[in-house]
């Protein structure tokens, strides 16, 4: 009997062991990932940090993500290669900024006048087929898995100089996205590429006249409203198309239950950003006291709308897949036009 008691105690099967509440098992050695975002730390805490916090809290120690902000590990333009070779395991960025070697990269970020509101982005991806196109493009590139896209803020202009007409854009040195800059150059804008963290100082030194990078929420959040004077309510895109990507091998090695955790947290973070930006854009236009609002009249701005359609046709020529994307943009915008307010105006 004495021997039997010793055996049960050692095995944890004695009376005390059998009646004790079960303990929560935590991973002895969790998986460590590094994520880098396109965003600087001020805005990154709202656009990228939520998913990191959610995953770290929900994965029971099995997956831990360390977040790095814009250019901290590698320059933003090298994010794809760093993700592909496993230097980092996850990225939050637009395809355009991270120089993804896929033909649809030009449509990431702010593709001119393709969207009107943030909600357009998940609709385009989930209802109009862009998700399948993006997934296919990255499968061909290899080493990187596209997970999900969502919209954020529109692309307006915040400038030192007052802009009330298209002619006022001529000669402006603006920090903007690659494809957006290519489009705006036909109106005399001089696109300037510098590290995200340097943009504010560049305005102060005169290297930049402002930004065509974000909506008004980001202008106030990151401090750009402190160094510019005017906010142009006309935008060249209604929503930033940004995505989450992961290293192919790291994703394949992740257990299915952690993939589910990751994707659930990702969708929740999309929801957070949508409401944060939507409310912020309205509130800061209505009550913000740092930037004076200006608007180019709709009749004059129509030239930009028309130029965007020509730009779409030009971009459609680069590949069959690009042509598919442009066709979807045209179909969707025609649906919005026919639907009328609040989907479209004019």
Question: For position 346, what pLDDT does the model report?
Answer: 59
Q: Please list the ranges in the chain whose pLDDT falls under 70.
A: 1-28, 346
**Spatial separation of the C-alpha atoms in residues 273 and 115, rounded to whole Å:** 17
**The two structure tokens encoding residue 337:** 């036009």
Q: Are residues 226 and 132 part of one domain? A: no
Are 302 and 184 contained in the same domain? yes
The answer to whether residue 68 is domain-embedded is yes
Q: What pLDDT score does 345 carry? A: 72
Tokens of 296: 């180019």
Neighbours of 55 (CB within 10 A): 23
User: Residue 21 domain-assigned?
Assistant: no
Tell me, yes or no, whether 82 and 106 share the same domain: yes
Say if 180 falls within a structural domain.
yes
* 42 CA to centre of own chain: 15
Is the domain of 232 the same as that of 101?
A: no
- The CATH number linked to 176 is 3.40.190.10
- pLDDT at position 341 is 92
Q: Does residue 13 lie in a domain region?
A: no
Domain count, the chain: 2
Query: Could you tell me if 35 and 124 lie in one domain?
Result: yes
Residues 41 and 102 in one domain: yes
Q: Are 55 and 171 part of one and the same domain?
A: no
Q: Are residues 41 and 73 in the same domain?
A: yes
Whether 65 and 145 map to the same domain: the answer is: yes
Instruction: Supply the pTM of this predicted model.
Output: 0.90
Domain membership flag for residue 106: yes
| Structural domain that includes position 130 | 31-153+239-284
Q: Write the CATH number for 268.
A: 3.40.190.170
Q: Answer whether residue 342 is part of any domain.
A: no
**Residue for token pair 């005390």:** 16
Q: Is residue 173 part of a domain?
A: yes
Are residues 55 and 98 both part of a single domain? yes
Q: Give the per-residue pLDDT at 24.
A: 40
Q: Are residues 136 and 44 part of one domain?
A: yes
Please report whether residue 5 resides in a domain.
Answer: no
203 and 297 share one domain? yes
Give per-residue pLDDT as tens, 93-133. 999 999 999 999 999 999 999 999 999 999 999 999 999 99
């Amino acid at each position: 009997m004495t021997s039997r008691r010793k055996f049960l105690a050692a095995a944890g099967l004695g009376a005390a062991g059998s009646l004790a509440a079960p303990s929560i098992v935590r991973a002895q050695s969790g998986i460590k990932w590094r994520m880098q975002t396109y965003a600087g730390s001020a805005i990154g805490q709202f656009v990228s940090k939520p998913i990191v916090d959610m995953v770290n809290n929900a994965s029971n120690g099995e997956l831990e993500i360390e977040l790095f902000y814009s250019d901290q590990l590698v320059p933003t333009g090298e994010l794809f290669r760093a993700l592909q070779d496993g230097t980092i395991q996850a990225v939050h960025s637009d395809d355009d900024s991270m120089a993804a070697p896929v033909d649809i990269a030009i449509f990431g970020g702010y593709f001119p006048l393709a969207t009107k509101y943030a909600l357009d982005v998940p609709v385009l991806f989930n209802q109009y087929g862009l998700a399948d196109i993006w997934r296919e493009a990255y499968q061909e590139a290899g080493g990187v898995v596209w997970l999900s896209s969502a919209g954020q803020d529109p692309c307006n202009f915040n400038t030192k100089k007052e802009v009330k007409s298209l002619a006022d854009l001529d000669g402006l040195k603006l920090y903007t996205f690659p494809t957006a800059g290519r489009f705006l150059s036909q109106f005399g804008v001089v696109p300037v590429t510098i590290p995200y963290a340097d943009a504010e100082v560049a305005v102060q030194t005169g290297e930049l006249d402002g930004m065509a990078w974000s909506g008004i929420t980001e202008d106030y959040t990151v401090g750009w409203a402190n160094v510019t004077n005017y906010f142009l309510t006309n935008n060249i895109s209604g929503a930033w198309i940004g995505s989450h990507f992961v290293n192919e091998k790291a994703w394949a090695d992740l257990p299915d239950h952690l993939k589910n955790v990751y994707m659930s947290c990702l969708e929740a973070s999309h929801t957070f950003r949508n409401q944060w930006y939507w409310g912020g854009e309205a509130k800061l236009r209505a009550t913000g006291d740092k930037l004076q609002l200006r608007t180019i009249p709709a009749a004059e701005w129509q030239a930009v709308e028309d130029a965007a359609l020509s730009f779409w046709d030009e971009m459609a020529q680069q590949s069959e897949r690009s042509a598919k994307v442009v066709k979807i943009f045209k179909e969707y915008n025609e649906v919005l036009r026919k639907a009328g307010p609040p989907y479209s105006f004019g």
